[in-house]
């Protein structure tokens, strides 16, 4: 069986395998259990947050082919909560069980250059960009793209890690040194009015549904708040939803995807896509009948997508590091991830406040 073969609806009692046991895996596991499905988590960390709420936790590395093989045999379908899964691991898993979202979606999102080329191929707008593999490349890229600009590693970045902002061309040498030789991409800085994201889902039958776009504010490179509805001009809401649908259709996608967008005076620019449930979609937990986690599980289990329409306005606030210590005093809906240590920059939980729908 390969990921290209459609799966019939998995019956209640079936088992979902999740690669990665962080908070996203944890919330997927909770959603699956509500649907009568079990989850097995694969994560090398014995204290993985998802393991606390899953039927089984395989503690092994992504290079352990024997452990991966045994994991795959114990589940009916495989999904993941992060993008950086080694190719050899995916090959071993895919030989045994379907993986959703599919390999093409993952390969596209794993590499910022492949991702941008794919988006451009769909006729969508991205920031001006150029591959950078040397200081000379960076100098040439700065000459054509200009400053300010952002140098990013093509792979393995998250929460703004692996990125350096360049405000003047004489910062090139120091910026390139920070990349430590990693394949990189220079992006022109987009003077956006706001950042939004569309959480979209596509089922095995090709049905697509999008949650209302949320407006995102970052603090120190990490998502701070998502507010729904986003402040958008007439037409932008539909533009955002339509472009998300095109991306999912083009990838023959099954599952939930986060599409991050910059809103500018001359239209929408795609920042990046995440082939998984997304932090900026957590608000759906308390403002929609069916949240992004249930929607993802439904899609990968071959079920009909649920009703993702919004019944409230929402404000989601991430609890980063010591922010989590507000828990005794907040009256907002509270979602904590069961992480023992509140290190700076670590996502510990989030709150959601809802208000009447506008």
Select from ligand ATP, Mg ion, none the partner in contact with residue 159, using the beta carbon and a kind-dependent cut-off of 5 to 8 Å: ligand ATP
Select from Mg ion, ligand ATP, none the partner in contact with residue 18, using the beta carbon and a kind-dependent cut-off of 5 to 8 Å: none
Minimum Å gap between C-beta 157 and Mg ion is 8
Minimum Å gap between C-beta 195 and ligand ATP is 6
CA neighbor of 275 nearest in space, from 210, 201, 213? 201
Locus of tokens 């996608």: 253
Select from ligand ATP, Mg ion, none the partner in contact with residue 101, using the beta carbon and a kind-dependent cut-off of 5 to 8 Å: none
Residue 241 or 263: which CB sits closer to ligand ATP? 263
Minimum Å gap between C-beta 143 and Mg ion is 27
Radius of gyration from C-alpha coordinates of the chain: 20
Select from Mg ion, ligand ATP, none the partner in contact with residue 233, using the beta carbon and a kind-dependent cut-off of 5 to 8 Å: none
Site string for Mg ion, 2-41 (x = CB under 5 A): ----------------------------------------
Locus of tokens 């209302």: 212
> Can you say whether the dihedral through the CA atoms of 291, 293, 299, 302 is positive or negative?
negative
Residues 244-250: contacts with CB within 8 Å, 24+ apart?
Answer: 244/198, 244/200, 244/210, 245/200, 245/208, 245/210, 246/122, 246/124, 247/119, 247/122, 247/124, 247/200, 247/273, 248/200, 248/201, 248/202, 248/208, 249/202, 249/206, 249/208, 250/118, 250/122
Site string for Mg ion, 247-286 (x = CB under 5 A): -------------x--------------------------
Question: What does the binding site for ligand ATP look like in residue numbers (CB under 6 A)?
Answer: 127, 150, 157-161, 187, 189-190, 195, 218, 221, 223, 260, 271-272
Residues within the interface to Mg ion (CB under 5 A): 260
């Amino acid at each position: 069986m390969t990921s290209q073969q459609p799966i019939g609806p998995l019956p209640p009692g079936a088992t979902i395998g999740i690669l990665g046991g962080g908070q996203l895996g944890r919330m997927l596991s909770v959603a699956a259990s509500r649907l009568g499905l079990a989850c097995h988590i694969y994560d090398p960390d014995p204290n993985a947050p998802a393991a606390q709420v899953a039927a089984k936790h395989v503690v092994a590395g992504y290079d352990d082919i024997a452990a991966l093989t045994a994991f795959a045999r114990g589940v009916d379908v495989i999904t993941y909560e992060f993008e950086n899964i080694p190719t050899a691991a995916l090959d071993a898993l895919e030989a045994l069980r379907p993986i959703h979202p599919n390999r093409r979606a993952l390969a596209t999102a794993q590499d910022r250059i492949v991702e941008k080329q794919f988006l451009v191929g769909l006729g969508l707008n991205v920031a001006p960009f150029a591959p950078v593999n040397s200081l000379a490349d960076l100098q040439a890229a700065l000459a054509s793209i200009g400053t300010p600009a952002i140098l990013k590693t093509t792979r393995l970045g998250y929460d703004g890690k692996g990125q350096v902002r360049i405000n003047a061309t004489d910062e090139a040498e120091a910026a390139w040194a920070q990349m430590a030789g990693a394949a990189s991409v220079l992006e022109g800085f987009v003077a956006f009015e706001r950042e939004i994201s569309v959480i979209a889902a596509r089922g095995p039958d090709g049905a697509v549904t999008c949650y209302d776009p949320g407006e995102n504010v970052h603090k120190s490179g990490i998502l701070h708040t998502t507010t729904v509805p986003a402040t958008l001009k007439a037409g932008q809401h539909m533009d955002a939803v339509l472009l998300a649908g095109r991306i999912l259709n083009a990838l023959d996608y099954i599952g939930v995807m986060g599409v991050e967008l910059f809103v500018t005076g001359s239209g929408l620019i795609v920042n990046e896509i995440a082939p998984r449930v997304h932090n900026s979609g957590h608000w759906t937990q308390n403002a929609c009948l069916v949240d992004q986690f249930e929607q993802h599980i439904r899609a990968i289990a071959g079920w009909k997508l649920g009703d993702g329409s919004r019944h409230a306005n929402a404000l989601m606030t991430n609890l980063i590091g010591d922010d989590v210590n507000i828990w005794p005093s907040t009256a907002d809906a509270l979602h904590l991830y069961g992480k023992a240590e509140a290190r700076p920059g670590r996502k510990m939980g989030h709150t959601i406040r809802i208000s009447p729908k506008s």
